[in-house]
Amino acid sequence: MVRPDKVEAVDEIADRFRGSTASVVTEYRGLTTAQLTALRRSLGSTATYRVAKNTLVKRAADNAGVDGLDPMLTGPTAIAFVQGEPVEAAKALRDFAKDNKGLVIKGGFMDGRVLTVAEVNQLADLESREVLLAKLAGAMKANLSKAAALFAAPASQVARLAQALAEKREAEGGAAAPAETADEAPAAEAATDAPTDSDS
């Protein structure tokens, strides 16, 4: 008969598989408790690092519909269950493994498929979503600034041209203006005397 504590552990691991954006399987042979604590801190709030027996992980993976992890489940196993950005967790694990040879990345699971060690490392090499969005926003801002400059330049040229024409008219004659006004006055009066559609 399966002990209740093992059933609870399997259920808990299965729930972690279901609630994770990605999972990274590691071997932690030789790591001290202090090193494991440091590793958990380096993962921050984006991932939970869980040490578990391979038999329990296999059952939990089956329950959660996660296939293909069995070959990785040898030796002392711990899994990083990623709740947030997979890139950040992969970076933290890779960087920790470089400095602590006791941590070995064996692979992972993301988007319904198994990840190889190489794919986990490729994930670690990517820039985070926040960095990519910041770069995209910067590029868009630069392009908008360029576009604004292009639109503003002709407008300022037109404004300068209009000002020059106005100044030229003023210089050409104060006499022309009254004459134009006198010519336009009868036309204006005729227009006001003419019947409109509303009068008819």
Same domain, 62 and 142: no
pLDDT above 50 (res 160): yes
Q: Show the domain range for 155.
A: 132-191
Domain match, 28 and 68 both: yes
Calpha distance 136→70 (Å, rounded): 40
Co-location of 143 and 179 in the same domain:
yes
Could you tell me if 113 and 164 lie in one domain?
Answer: no
Whether residue 37 has pLDDT greater than 90: yes
Structure tokens given for 106: 């064996």
pTM (predicted TM-score): 0.63
Work out the percent of the chain whose per-residue pLDDT is above 90.
56
**121 and 138 share a domain?**
no
Domain annotation covers residue 49: yes
pLDDT band at 181 (very low <50, low <70, confident <90, very high): very low
Q: Is residue 158 part of a domain?
A: yes
Instruction: Please name every residue paired with 82 in a beta bridge, in sequence order, or none if there are none.
Output: 22, 47
pLDDT (0 to 100) of residue 172: 80
Which helix (H) or strand (E) covers residue 95, if one does? helix 86-99
Number of domains in the chain: 2
Q: Tokens 């503003």 correspond to what residue?
A: 152
Residues 136 and 90 in one domain: no
pLDDT of residue 97: 95
The answer to whether residues 160 and 121 belong to one domain is: no
SS3 26: strand
Q: How many Cβ atoms are within 10 Å of 15's Cβ, its own excluded?
A: 14
Read off the tokens for 113. 């498929």
Same domain, 28 and 118: yes
Residues 66 and 13 in one domain: yes
199 inside domain: no
Q: Nearest to residue 128, comparing CAs of 97, 80, 89?
A: 89
User: Does residue 174 share a domain with residue 77?
Assistant: no
Q: Does some domain include residue 145?
A: yes
In a domain, 196, yes or no: no
Residue 131 has which token pair? 């960095």
Residue 200 forms part of a structural domain: no
- Distant-in-sequence, close-in-space partners of 109: CB < 8 Å, separation ≥ 6: 17, 22, 23, 25, 66, 68, 69, 115
pLDDT at position 48 is 95
Evaluate whether residue 33 is within a structural domain: yes
Instruction: Kindly state whether residues 138 and 120 are assigned to the same domain.
Output: no
Looking at the fold, whether 91 and 144 belong to one and the same domain comes out as no
- The residue among 95, 126, 157 that closes a domain is 126
In a domain, residue 93? The reply is yes
CATH label of the domain that carries residue 65: 3.30.70.1730
- Look at residue 52 and tell me whether its pLDDT is greater than 90: yes
Tokens 């089956």, residue? Answer: 62
pLDDT score of 73 more than 70 = yes
- Summarised one tens digit per residue, pLDDT across range 132-157 is 456 566 666 666 666 565 556 555 55
Do residues 34 and 97 make contact, with C-beta atoms less than 8 angstroms apart? no
* pLDDT score, position 5: 84
* Residue of 93, 95, 90 lying closest to 119 (CA atoms): 90
Report the candidate in 40, 114, 121 with the shortest Cα–Cα distance to residue 87: 121
Domain end call among 75, 98, 126: 126
Q: How far apart are CA 33 and CA 55, in angstroms?
A: 22
Res 92: pLDDT: 94
Given 126, 149, 168, which residue is the final one in a domain? Answer: 126
